[in-house]
Each structure stands twice: as structure tokens, then as C-alpha cells.
């Protein structure tokens, strides 16, 4: 069967599968046939396919605002997302947990409902185009997904999106769509996994040279600045600071002097100790005194914004760089994780660039990144906790 004649339900890629590439897929609108909303390579995406994809998105949105209770009714009906959005706001508000209700306003909920229609349209187009791109990329890479692989994951998708396979008859009656919608989601999710695995198969192999090169390029990250351990007494007045200094000069301990004069409860409870001081962490005047005083020497009184300090430098730890030998095993593990991620991102960017040149979208359907004439969707992001009500399905 030629691709342009494949069933209309083909390529309904669910956002719930979480396809990274799906967020990248779309095109323009010059050489389109009368019934096409987009053309991916030589394959037309028809208005009929779009309407079915949109219907599916409306189901996901209705599941969302009802708290996944759409199919609890014997005769489920899609939620209305038409202005003034009364039905949407009422149902969505009922799903907000009691502990969050005080934080979520009716205006926020309504604002979120207002975004749903345009987002559903964009996702409907996105799923169709992303599905076609995945299909063509898989064919070119000779990647195949068996029915057994698909069936293994189907029950989880049914549960996630319509509350279980038992609700499939209700779903079909409501939408006119059948199980092929869900099978295509799983199939394309597996295609994506295999395509990504193929694109990144060698990326996880990290050599000693890779690790050494990374360390050399990022050596600043492993530099430890000079630090100093101090004893301090912070007083409210210069007079008290001078008394504290006199007692310290006379042999009194910092613990006793801090207990008597200090207004800083943290260092007072620590007998005046202030450890591991590095530049940029303390008040400027205290820092200047701390880093200009020799070890074991007293300094002060020093005036700062919070009071007057008397201090002693107990220990100076010179600046150093952590040796490569101490971090190479950690760096190797890090690179083994990040290199495949970078390879996957590079592959996705290549797919986007390749298919953006080959994808045309009709005006009004061109809010997806793969469209040559991509236009930004006319939506706003709902603020506050209403955002947290976005369902696991349809994301």
C-alpha cells in the first residue's frame, strides 16, 4: 500500500509516550493538494487524518480536566472547550487537591482552559507529522517493530489514556477511532527508541583520552580556592570589641570571650569558630582582614555592616586543583551518561533540519517546528498550580 494511502489513524503519536522528536516535527504550504494540511516528503497529511487526530487530542484533554474520569460514565461525552469555558473550568477545578485549592484561582484555571483548543490543534498536527517522519526514518534505517513488541506495551497505554482496555468500546463509540490509534502510538514510540539507540550506540564508549581531555578543558571546575579557619567575636560596639581584644591579648580563650561579648549566636555557640572561609562569602571588611592576617595572629577590631569583629587566623589551606587521578573515575561515569544524551540531541537536531526542508504545512496548521513556514502558536502558559493539573496522558 503506498504511504499516501495508509489508514487515517496511522501516525497518531501520543504525547504520553514522551517522544523527544515529536516536539520537533512539522512543515509549510506551497505544493499542497486541496485536501492536504501538510506534506512530509512525498506523503500528504489529509484533512480527514487531522480531524481524527484532533478528536483524539480532545479525548486526552477531556481526560485531563476530568481527572481521568471521562470514561467513568456509561455514555461519556467530550468536555466543551468553547468560550466562556464554563464546563472546562468547573471540571478542572474539581480535580485540584484540597491542599492546593487556596493557591489556585478561578482566573488561573480559566486561563489554562483557554489554552487547550489551540494546543490540541498543534498537537494533532504535530502527532501526524512526527509519526510520518518516524515511519520514514525507520524505513530508511531498516528498523522494524514487531506486533509482539507492540502488544507488550498496549495495556499500559490503555490504562494511562482511557483508564484501561475495558473502556475501548466507549472510546470507539465516542470518537469513531479504534485500537489502531493506540497501537500506532506504541509502535512509533518503539521506533523512536530503536532509532535513538542506533544513533547513540557508540556514544557510551568513553576512552581514557576522552576523560583526560574533558578534565583539561574543565580544569577550573576542580580548582579549590584558598580557605582559612578562623575564630571570631562579633560585637555591637567598638568599645566592646576593644574589650574583647584586650582580654584575648591577655590570654583569655575565644570560647570565653565569645560567650561574653559576641552578638552572633552561630559562632558564639561554636566557641567562636568560623571554618573554611573563602573569598566572596563574608562581609568585605572581615574578608580583607582574614586574608591579610598571618596564621595564629589576632586582628581587629574590624568595622563591618553588622558590627565589630576581632578575629584570629587558625589555619590557612592554600589554593589547589584536585588531581586528575582523584576525579577520573567519576568523570568517566559522567561522560558515559552525557555522551549518549549529546549524541541523541545531535541526531534529533539533524532529523529536524533534514525534514524541515521536506515538510510543507498549510497556513493555520503550521505551528510545529518541522514546518518550513513555522508560526508560533497563539497560546499562553497558565500560571500557578493549574499547570500541575496537566495529565500524564497527552503530554
Based on the domain organization, do 196 and 235 belong to the same domain? no
pLDDT band at 311 (very low <50, low <70, confident <90, very high): very high
Based on the domain organization, do 95 and 194 belong to the same domain? yes
325 domain residue, yes or no: no
Residue 102 CB partners (closer than 8 Å, separation 6+): none
Using CB atoms within 10 Å of the CB of residue 373, give its burial: 0 to 12 exposed, 13 to 18 middle, 19+ buried. middle
Residue ranges making up the domain that contains 129: 3-202+341-389
Does the pLDDT at position 289 exceed 90? yes
Helix (H, G, I), strand (E, B) or coil at 310: strand
- What pLDDT does 175 receive? 95
Based on the domain organization, do 186 and 290 belong to the same domain? no
- The per-residue DSSP string of 50-97 comes to HHHHHHHHHHHHHHHHTTS-GGGSSS--PPP--TT-HHHHHHHHHTS-
CA atoms within 13 A on the CB side of 213: 6
pLDDT in tens, 10-27: 333 333 233 333 333 333
In angstroms, the Cα distances linking 61 to 37, 225, 238, 289 are 22, 53, 67, 63
Based on the domain organization, do 91 and 176 belong to the same domain? yes
pLDDT in tens, 40-86: 999 999 999 999 999 999 999 999 999 999 999 999 999 999 999 99
Shortest CA distance to 283 belongs to which of 303, 261, 269, 301? 303
Q: Return the C-alpha cell found at 294.
A: 598571618
pLDDT in tens, 83-126: 999 999 999 999 999 899 889 999 999 999 999 999 999 999 99
Q: Percentage of residues in the chain with pLDDT exceeding 70? A: 88
CB 376 within 8 A of CB 367: yes
pLDDT in tens, 336-363: 888 899 999 999 999 999 999 999 999 9
Residue 51 CB partners (closer than 8 Å, separation 6+): none
Single pTM value for the model: 0.65
313 domain residue, yes or no: yes
- What pLDDT does 220 receive? 87
Q: Domain holding 278: CATH number?
A: 3.10.50.40
Does the pLDDT at position 395 exceed 80? no
133 domain residue, yes or no: yes
- What pLDDT does 151 receive? 95
Based on the domain organization, do 313 and 348 belong to the same domain? no
Based on the domain organization, do 130 and 25 belong to the same domain? yes
pLDDT in tens, 171-224: 999 999 999 999 999 999 999 999 999 999 888 788 999 999 999 999 888 988
Cβ–Cβ contacts within 10 Å for residue 5, how many? 8
Q: Return the C-alpha cell found at 191.
A: 521506533
Which stretches does DSSP call E strand in the chain? 36-40, 43-46, 223-224, 227-235, 273-277, 298-303, 308-317, 320-321, 359-361
Q: How many domains does the chain have?
A: 2
Based on the domain organization, do 126 and 80 belong to the same domain? yes
Out of 303, 318, 333, a domain closes at: 318
Task: Please tell me the distance from the alpha carbon of residue 237 to that of residue 308, in angstroms, as a whole number.
Answer: 6
| Helix axes 180-199 and 147-162, enclosed angle (nearest 10) | 120
221 domain residue, yes or no: no
Helix (H, G, I), strand (E, B) or coil at 364: coil
Based on the domain organization, do 243 and 196 belong to the same domain? no
Based on the domain organization, do 264 and 382 belong to the same domain? no
16 domain residue, yes or no: yes
194 domain residue, yes or no: yes
CB 383 within 8 A of CB 108: yes
Task: Please tell me the distance from the alpha carbon of residue 208 to that of residue 206, in angstroms, as a whole number.
Answer: 7
Based on the domain organization, do 248 and 362 belong to the same domain? no
Neighbouring-strand partners of residue 228: 277, 316
Amino acid at each position: 500500500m503506498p504511504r499516501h494511502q495508509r489508514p487515517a489513524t496511522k501516525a497518531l503519536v501520543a504525547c504520553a509516550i514522551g517522544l523527544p522528536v515529536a516536539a520537533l516535527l512539522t512543515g509549510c504550504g506551497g505544493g499542497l493538494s486541496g485536501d492536504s494540511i501538510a506534506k512530509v516528503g512525498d506523503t500528504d497529511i489529509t484533512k480527514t487524518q487531522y480531524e481524527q487526530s484532533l478528536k483524539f487530542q480532545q479525548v486526552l484533554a477531556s481526560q485531563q480536566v476530568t481527572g481521568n474520569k471521562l470514561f467513568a460514565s456509561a455514555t461519556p461525552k467530550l468536555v466543551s472547550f468553547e468560550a466562556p469555558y464554563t464546563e472546562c473550568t468547573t471540571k478542572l477545578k474539581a480535580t485540584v487537591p484540597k491542599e492546593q485549592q487556596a493557591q489556585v484561582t478561578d482566573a488561573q484555571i480559566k486561563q489554562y482552559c483557554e489554552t487547550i483548543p489551540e494546543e490540541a490543534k498543534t498537537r494533532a498536527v504535530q502527532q501526524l507529522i512526527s509519526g510520518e517522519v518516524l515511519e520514514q526514518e525507520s524505513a530508511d534505517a531498516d528498523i522494524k517493530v514487531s506486533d509482539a513488541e507492540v502488544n507488550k506495551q498496549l495495556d499500559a497505554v490503555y490504562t494511562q489514556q482511557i483508564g484501561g482496555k475495558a473502556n475501548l468500546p466507549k472510546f470507539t463509540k465516542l470518537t469513531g477511532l479504534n485500537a489502531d490509534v493506540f497501537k500506532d502510538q506504541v509502535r512509533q514510540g518503539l521506533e523512536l527508541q530503536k532509532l535513538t539507540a542506533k544513533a547513540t550506540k557508540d556514544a557510551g564508549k568513553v576512552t581514557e583520552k576522552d576523560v583526560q581531555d574533558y578534565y583539561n578543558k574543565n580544569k577550573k571546575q576542580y580548582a579549590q580556592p584558598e580557605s582559612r579557619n578562623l575564630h571570631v567575636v562579633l560585637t555591637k560596639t567598638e568599645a566592646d570589641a576593644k574589650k574583647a581584644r584586650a582580654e584575648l591579648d591577655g590570654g583569655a580563650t575565644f570560647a570565653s570571650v565569645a560567650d561574653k561579648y559576641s552578638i552572633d549566636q552561630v559562632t558564639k555557640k561554636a566557641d567562636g569558630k568560623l571554618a573554611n572561609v573563602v573569598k566572596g562569602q563574608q562581609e568585605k571588611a572581615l574578608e580583607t582582614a582574614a586574608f591579610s592576617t598571618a596564621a595564629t595572629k589576632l586582628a581587629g577590631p574590624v568595622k563591618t555592616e553588622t558590627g565589630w569583629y576581632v578575629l584570629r587566623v587558625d589555619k590557612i589551606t592554600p589554593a589547589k586543583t584536585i588531581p586528575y587521578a582523584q576525579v577520573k573515575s567519576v568523570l568517566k561515569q559522567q561522560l558515559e551518561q552525557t555522551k549518549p544524551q549529546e549524541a541523541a540531541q545531535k541526531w534529533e537536531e539533524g532529523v529536524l533540519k533534514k525534514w524541515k526542508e521536506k515538510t510543507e504545512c498549510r497556513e493555520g496548521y503550521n505551528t510545529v517546528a518541522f514546518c518550513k513556514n513555522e508560526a508560533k502558536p497563539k497560546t499562553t502558559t497558565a500560571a500557578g498550580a493549574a499547570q500541575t493539573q496537566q495529565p500524564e496522558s497527552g503530554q
